Amino acid sequence: MLTGIEEVDWASLGHAYGPADDVPELLRGLASADPAERETALDGMYGAVHHQGDVYDSTLACIPFLLELVADPAVQDRGCIVELLTSIGGIELDDDEELDELDADDEEFIPAANYAMAAAAIAAGADVFLGLVSDPDPEVRLTAPCALASLHPEPALVLTLLRERLTVERDTEVRLALVAAVGRIALRHASLRTETVDWLGWLARAAQDPGLRLAALAQRARCAPGDIPDDVVPWVTGLLEEIRTSADRPAPGTERAAAPTLIGQVRELLEEHAAGRPAPWTEELLRTLHAALDDRVDDRIALIVAQLRSPDWGQRSDAIWLCGGLIRVWRGRYEEVVRLVGAQLQDPEPRLREAATSFLERLFELGAPAADALAARLAAGPAGSGQGQSAFVGRSGRDGALLALARAGDTRAVPLLARALEEPEVRRELLYAMDGLGPSAAMLAPLLRRRLAEVELDERLYDRAAPLLYALAAVRGGQALPEVLRVLRGAPANRRDWVREAALRTLAAFGPAAREAVPDMRRLLAAESAAVATTAARALWAAEGDRGDVLPALERWLRPGTTDADWCAAAQALGEIGPAAAAAAPALRPGLVSRDLWVRVRSAAALWRVTGEASASLPVLLAAWEENRHARADIAECLAEMGPAAAEAQLVVLTELTRRRRHNAREGGSGSHDIHHDEKLLTLCRAALARMERGTF
């Protein structure tokens, strides 16, 4: 085994962490009889040799040995090695990274060449995967179909083999993997797509197993998304009910020795997620189907609603996670979905309650239909415990539900936030959620004041004080002025400017109640940090309303050589002052032609706000609207203020309101406030359109 491994000069090769002289030990570890040693070796392969999907020269040198290990039936956990090879060889170059189009001196040439060589090397030995579809080990059979579909150079041969194997395979998850691999071949090879789509359509209706029918339907939708039948919702709902009523209870899992590896942690999380569920594989099938449905939002919502009404808690949990992906990307009517998710907070299954709470946390105003359920859950103890609020499914569950309720703007959160502020530690997101609770949140000011007074003026001041300062600004807690001044004056060297800016923002929110701080504000007008100086100017204007010192302090950041961020800070401050800052209009105008989009947007908005003239600002704002979708909320706010003067923007506002996709949706990631920011844009667009049409504020 591993013949010739010593003949490779591993030390001359590299991986993510330097010389690859440790790779032989990793390869031998993959063949070990000890499960913990195998897992540690696999973790090392992913962590160094195939780090974050990269392919190094040492990765290429490993391929023959990995293929040898896969071919040896005496090696255990070969399915993991098949997955590793599939990952190494299955990276497909983007159109702009084709190897023959890259210069050898291009920094992308070596990675692209390595990907291409890895694919070629594994394809040359891919016949080894042909025999694995009938291997006695179900874990090997589970991984072989994807490897064949991704790596074997003869897709027609593989397609025939997979379809034949499906007639004799008895393991449910392996059967699903066979169907998924068939779909993958159809996607990758256009010449085979038509016949494969037809076969998948036949299987979706003819297979005896409802799980297999669902898998075939999902893959057919994936390969031909434009031809998904209109009756897909009742079809899928019926299949899920068949699966629920026919699925066997899950067998107890095999105990595995714990290994302190990332691979092990991921495995344990997946096992925990699937535990107690008779058909956990339906989640992935539905994820595939939802991806194919894409912008058919109403169908997707209908599917999720049906799942949320299922007697199977696992299906309801899947629905919540699937809706999380849907609502982050697509606008729609989610009231019924949110109400049904809220109902899951009373379920005895803790994983379901956790999923519901996590989902509701991100909804902000869209979470209102679940507000009653959140309030009821916060007032109750764990299911069946009969205990009070303090016992609510642990502190994390309580804090999550409270955060969702506060972000929804429900005033029932206020007394619960007061209780939370009495505890030794407060989740910082709760403090940042107080700005949507209105005047009722004023009762929280004394508690926030006390907590701020207890914060030590040490190197961690910013991390501890900033959320409290934000909350005090939100509740207009002007009685905390002495405590805010203590932080402002006592800020340590570490992140001093950040502390000062946060404290000054709070003072600005206090308005005239912060007059005692005027000397500090005047002193900080001359700060070297534009963020500090401009925030001091805003606070001083809010406290006194005297522009005498404020305008010159802001105009000094509107000069040639000023950084874009500094210019934006000054422009925003002038915009907040409004017509009283009209004298600064000439200083703002050069920003309209800046190379930086945000400088143009901030300058144009400020110019409108100080002059009330739209002729110079509106063209800049409309151009920026098209150039950068992330600027649209700021622009829409200004358009709403302009009213009839922004009539030229009516079409772009109407177009935004008719779009189904959220303006800030992005592939492969999301932020906790994305939904809130998009809903804010829609609200501002409606307000702008109403003012344009009525001509009144």
Q: Are 428 and 461 in contact (CB under 8 A)?
A: no
Cα–Cα–Cα angle for 691, 692, 693, rounded to 5 degrees: 90
Each residue's pLDDT tens digit, 454-500 = 999 999 999 999 999 999 999 999 999 999 999 999 999 999 999 99
Task: Tell me what pLDDT residue 669 has.
Answer: 75
Q: Are 332 and 297 in contact (CB under 8 A)?
A: yes
Using a pLDDT cut of 70, give the percent of the chain over it. 93
For 579, the enclosing helix (H) or strand (E) is none
Each residue's pLDDT tens digit, 128-172 = 999 999 999 999 999 999 999 999 999 999 999 999 999 999 999
93 pLDDT above the threshold of 90: no
Using a pLDDT cut of 90, give the percent of the chain over it. 86
The token pair that represents 534 in the structure block: 């401009």
389 pLDDT above the threshold of 90: no
* Mean pLDDT of the chain, nearest integer: 92
Label residue 98 by pLDDT band (50, 70, 90): low
556 pLDDT above the threshold of 70: yes
Other Cβ atoms closer than 10 A to 16: 16
Our CA dihedral for 48, 54, 55, 57, rounded to 10 degrees, sits at: -50
Total residue length of the chain = 697
d(CA 369, CA 573): 37
3 pLDDT above the threshold of 50: yes
Rounded to 5 degrees, φ, ψ at 396 are -65, -40
Each residue's pLDDT tens digit, 215-272 = 999 999 999 999 999 999 999 999 999 999 987 665 555 555 555 787 777 878 877 8
The token pair that represents 404 in the structure block: 């969702």
